[in-house]
Amino acid sequence: MHRKARDGNKEANTKPKRLLADAMLTIGIEGSPGKEMVTLAEKRKAVAHLVDAHGMSERRARKAAAAA
């Protein structure tokens, strides 16, 4: 039973990550291919985009931004 719950959480976590990636591309945050870190200002823009455009809660958007 726990295994099924974990699979559901994995699917639920995939959508916020995908939305964050789309938001980062939309805003132009992706940067150069060698760039590894995202600045705090860029994360804030991505979080604001997820909240405004996708109706995501700020808490979930921040978690997605931290995971990306």
- Does the reported pTM lie above 0.75? no
Q: What's the confidence (pLDDT) of residue 33?
A: 55
Whether the CB-CB separation of 15 and 9 falls below 8 Å is answered with no
Q: Kindly tell me the burial class for residue 21, based on how many C-beta atoms sit within 10 Å of its own C-beta (0-12, 13-18, 19 or more).
A: middle
| Number of domains observed in the structure of the chain | 1
Query: Domain range for residue 46?
Result: 2-67
Over its length of 68 residues, how does the chain's per-residue pLDDT go in tens digits? 455 555 566 667 788 778 777 777 766 655 555 556 678 888 899 899 989 998 989 999 898 888 76
Q: What's the confidence (pLDDT) of residue 3?
A: 53
